[in-house]
Each structure stands twice: as structure tokens, then as C-alpha cells.
Amino acid sequence: MTLAARSGLHGAAREAACTALLSRLRSEGVEQVRVAWADVHGTLRGKTLVMDAEAAALSSALDEGVGLVSTMFLKDTSDRTAFAVFEPDGLTGLTGFASANNVLLLPDPASFVALPWAPGTGWLRAQPLWPDGSPVLADPRGVLQRALARLADAGYGLRCGLEVEFHIHRITDARLAAEDAAWPAEPPAVQLLHPGYQLLSEGWADLADHALAIVRRTALGLGLPLRSLEVELGPSQFEAVFAPTDALTAADQMVQFRNGVRQALRREGYHASFVCKPPLPNAVASGWHLHQSLVHAHGGNAMVRERAEGDADDARQVLSDAGCHWLAGLLQHAAGLTALCAPTIPAYARFHGSVMAPQAVLWGRDNRGALLRVLGAPGDPATRIENRLGEPMANPYLMIAAQVLAGLDGLKRELQPGPATASPYGGQAQRLPATLSQALDALVADSVLQDGLGPVMATIYDRIKRQELARHGAAEDAALWERREYFARF
């Protein structure tokens, strides 16, 4: 019995998809296929299969998977393994990862896409499995799938729209001389594409037209629903806005966009970074704003209220009862959510006075200073909640899973959100965690989020992030550490 059969993922539909894929690749002359999986940081990992006349390597992979060292699940942002996998007591609480053994990546034939920046190359998303066909519980995509299954059991789905801020710089020195090698190495030397501080400037967009054209072609070539590319406030800062889709697809699209844009731009001499705040003079922190709306099983927006109720600052002015409970759940779990939505050390500077970034656990009506921005009106099918907590380096699967778990708790307990704020930067509201360490403590203390992550993912995530914090704390030059750790690689 093949791995595909042992996993329970294979059937008539997948068999037909495999046959169609192999036929397509032969007819289109595809030379190689990257079989990829998104790790705990949302970075694609995997292997490239060479296409011969019989497509033997890919045919085998579709049945039996592709081997991947299991330490890929245990790496921090520097690629150091956070667990002592060769020590008998180095994996307490975890099973299956001993001795840097193998995990198998089983490709999804329906996920194939030709890479617009790499002629003759295609990409397949893969699911990590143990040799017996069971899922690897440290797979971030699996965490989201399980959270969405819980939501479906409650009679709902989730639609998400992405607004992603990021930076693009022109490379002036790639720093690829042999003597530049380090672990991690210095990022390339760069210069700005626009000087910033003129929000939505058409002139600045024109200055960056060549780079933005690459972003546009990459996104559209990958089949992503890109709506707009915009000049943001900071120097060399931009924003991409995507049409809403179901939550799992939105997470997949974020992975494709982030990894694809970095690769395509690097080939053309640009350095794209999704780090919250680049270690450059006068840089402005970037956010990832996640628009979300509950949908009924039949597809209608479950957050729409037909008739306003309550006072002007009552959530029932806009949101249905279910929407109010969801909003309250996000507020209730905001501290723990922060560790999954803002997973890097530099991200916390954004909560201390950055432009239009949240600072406290508050919601508001169309208020960009609040953590949660409620948009819509009675009867408006586009009614939704925008969570402004995230940074663009967040793992899309874990960030969106966290929304589901928090919102579901609000639905289950029928929580109420309290009144809207008109003063998001004043008053005595609960503050967001001030550091990654505080956010991790809040995540560990949040039983709802811990249960939703599962003990394997919760243990790995906490250990990886604590190791990053420890190495940062021991660094003689914290700025150099952050520059190499994040800006060079993400």
C-alpha cells in the first residue's frame, strides 16, 4: 500500500488529478517541480524534482512522498534546531522527531502552479506525513485545517481578505563574497525605491514602477486575487491588497505571495522584506491587516445585522449576534493571539507609537487606531472585522487559526464585546503585550489557544521562540543580530 493510500488522502479524485498533472507537465515541457511545505515561519521548504521523459521522480512522489529531515519542524529563524534531537531526553513531550529522522511530503496534485519568474519550473504544495501515513501535528497548515473543521461543526466558515505591508529596496551589494558568509549572514546593502512620507503618492509609485510590475506579474501569474498595489507611508514601503476568499485559501495565497515576491524580485536585483520594521534609518513598521467575516454553511455573511440595535457605541449597530460574540472572542484572547500574529522581536516596536497601529485591547467603528476595526452597516453584505494586530512575518496558517479559535470561544460562551472606543490611544484599557516574551507567556496561559494548537505545535512554537529570545538576549550587538536574523532572510 502506498503512502498516499495509507494516509487516507488518496481516492478516485486524487488519482484523476495525478494523471492529469503528469499529462500536463509532459505536454508543457516542465523541466522541474518544486515540492514545498510551509514551515513554522511560513517559509517554503522542500525539494526540487527533475522531470525526465517518464516523470519518474514526480510519479513516485505522488504515491510515496518525498523525504524531508524532521528537524525542519524544529528550526528557529536562524535555522538552528531548538531541540536536542540526538539526546534521549531532548524531545520531552514530543514523539517522532528523534535522531533527525525522515518526514514524507505528499504532494497535492491539484495545487500545481507554474512559477512566472522561473521558466520551466512548477510548484506543488505538499502535506507532511509520518511513514505510517499519519499527519505530522507540527504542520501549521494542519493546525488551521483542524480549527476550520471545528468552525464547520459549529455551522460556520470564515472568509478573509488580506492587506499586507512590506518593503522593497534595490540591492547595491549582494554581499555574496566568500568572506561574507556567516550564520546568519549580513543582508545585502540596499538603497530606497522612494523616500517615503507621502502616503499614496503617485509620483513615488512611478519611481518604483519596475519593481511593482514584477510584484504584479508574480501575483497574477500565481493566480492570486491582487486588487491593488499602494505606496505606504514609510521609505520604500508598499502595500498589497487582495480580494477576500475562504480562510484556508487566503493563508495559502499569503504563503505564495510572500515567498514568490521575494524570489522574483531578488532575480531582478531587489530585496523584498516582510520584516515588521527593517533595521534602516527612519523605517516605518509594517502591519498585516486581516479582514474576516463569518459565513453560514450556505455561504451568506453571518456577521450582517439587518436592523441596528443599542446605542451608538454598541456592536449591535453593525454586527449580528454571532458577529458580536466573535468580536468579543478576539478581544478576550488578544494577548495570546499576539504571540501568533506578531512572532518576532522587532514587531513590538509597532505597538509603541507607530502610525495607525494598535496599542490596547479595544474595538472601534471604522477606527484605524483600534485593535479591531468593525466595518459595515445594517444589511451590508461586506460587513466584517479587521484585525490590525498582525505583522507581515506571521505564519498565515497559525495567525488565521488563532482568529478561529478565539472567535469560536466567543461564540460558544456568547461573550459580549463591550462598547466601541472613540479614543484608542487614551484611557485605561488593557495594553497589548509589550514584548514577544510577554506575548508568549500570555499564549501559554491561554487554554483555548493551547488546546487549538495542540500540545505538539504549542510545545514546538514556544521552544523555538524562547530560543530566539535567548540568543537575542545574549547578543553583543542586538541591532546586528536583528539585521541578520530577520531582515537578511525574511
Let me know if residue 196 belongs to a domain: no
Question: Which one-letter amino acid corresponds to residue 263?
Answer: Q
Element at 125 (helix H, strand E): strand 121-129
Q: Please tell me whether residues 13 and 102 are part of one structural domain.
A: yes
pLDDT single digits (tens) 69-84: 999 999 999 999 999 9
Q: Which residue is it, cell 507581515?
A: 392
Given a contact cutoff of 8 angstroms between Cβ atoms, the answer to whether 407 and 154 are in contact is no
Q: Please tell me whether residues 94 and 184 are part of one structural domain.
A: no
Measure the CA angle with vertex 240, ends 479 and 294; round to 5°.
110
Let me know if residue 428 belongs to a domain: yes
Can you give the pLDDT at residue 299?
Answer: 85
pLDDT single digits (tens) 343-391: 999 999 999 876 789 999 999 999 999 999 999 999 999 999 999 999 9
Rounded Cα distance between 259 and 396, Å, is 12
Rounded Cα distance between 39 and 12, Å, is 29
pLDDT > 70: percent of the chain: 100
- CATH code at position 253: 3.30.590.10
Q: What 8-state DSSP symbol labels residue 213?
A: H
- CATH code at position 112: 3.10.20.70
Phi first, then psi, for residue 191 (nearest 5°) are -130, 160
Question: Which one-letter amino acid corresponds to residue 165?
Answer: E
Length of the chain, in residues: 490
For 445, other C-beta atoms within 10 Å of its C-beta total 11
Q: Please tell me whether residues 120 and 156 are part of one structural domain.
A: no
Can you give the pLDDT at residue 353?
Answer: 76
pLDDT single digits (tens) 209-241: 999 999 999 999 999 999 999 999 999 999 999
3-state secondary structure of 135: strand
Q: Please tell me whether residues 275 and 367 are part of one structural domain.
A: yes
Rounded Cα distance between 308 and 305, Å, is 7
Q: Please tell me whether residues 455 and 336 are part of one structural domain.
A: yes
pLDDT single digits (tens) 276-321: 999 999 999 999 999 999 999 988 999 999 999 999 999 999 999 9
Can you give the pLDDT at residue 354?
Answer: 67
Let me know if residue 259 belongs to a domain: yes
Let me know if residue 46 belongs to a domain: yes
Let me know if residue 195 belongs to a domain: no
Q: In the chain, how many domains are there?
A: 2
pLDDT, one tens digit for every residue, the chain (490 residues): 999 999 999 999 999 999 999 999 999 999 999 999 999 999 999 999 999 988 999 999 999 999 999 999 999 999 999 999 999 888 877 888 888 899 999 999 999 999 999 999 999 999 999 999 999 999 999 999 999 999 999 999 999 999 999 999 999 999 999 999 999 999 999 999 999 999 999 999 999 999 999 999 999 999 999 999 999 999 999 999 999 999 999 999 999 999 999 999 999 999 999 999 999 999 999 999 999 999 999 889 999 999 999 999 999 999 999 999 999 999 999 999 999 999 999 999 999 876 789 999 999 999 999 999 999 999 999 999 999 999 999 999 999 999 999 999 999 999 999 999 999 998 789 999 999 999 999 999 999 999 999 999 999 999 999 999 999 999 999 999 999 999 999 9
Q: Write the CA distances from 106 to 103, 231, 456, integer angstroms.
A: 10, 39, 20
- One-character DSSP codes across 284-323: ----EEEEEEEEETTS-BTTB-SS--SSTT-GGGTB-HHH
Name the domain boundary from 97, 113, 134: 134
Q: Please tell me whether residues 184 and 291 are part of one structural domain.
A: yes
Q: Please tell me whether residues 429 and 462 are part of one structural domain.
A: yes
Let me know if residue 176 belongs to a domain: yes
Peptide bond into 396 cis (omega under 30): no
Q: Please tell me whether residues 178 and 76 are part of one structural domain.
A: no
Q: Please tell me whether residues 128 and 172 are part of one structural domain.
A: no
For 255, other C-beta atoms within 10 Å of its C-beta total 21
Task: Report which of 77, 115, 84 is spatially closest to residue 99, judged by C-alpha positions.
Answer: 84
- One-character DSSP codes across 62-95: HHH-EEEEGGGGGB-TTS-BSS-TTSTTTTTT--
Let me know if residue 414 belongs to a domain: yes
Half-sphere exposure in the Cβ direction for 340 (13 Å, CA): 33
Let me know if residue 230 belongs to a domain: no
* Mode of pairing for the β-strands spanning 363-365 and 372-375: parallel
Name the domain boundary from 67, 101, 134: 134
Name the domain boundary from 89, 110, 134: 134
Q: Please tell me whether residues 72 and 169 are part of one structural domain.
A: no
Q: Please tell me whether residues 74 and 156 are part of one structural domain.
A: no
- Tell me which residue range forms the domain holding 410: 147-189+215-225+238-487
Q: Please tell me whether residues 7 and 52 are part of one structural domain.
A: yes
Given a contact cutoff of 8 angstroms between Cβ atoms, the answer to whether 369 and 424 are in contact is yes
Task: Report which of 64, 74, 176, 76 is spatially closest to residue 129, judged by C-alpha positions.
Answer: 64
Can you give the pLDDT at residue 54?
Answer: 86
Most distant pair of Cα atoms in the chain: their distance: 69
Rounded Cα distance between 352 and 256, Å, is 30
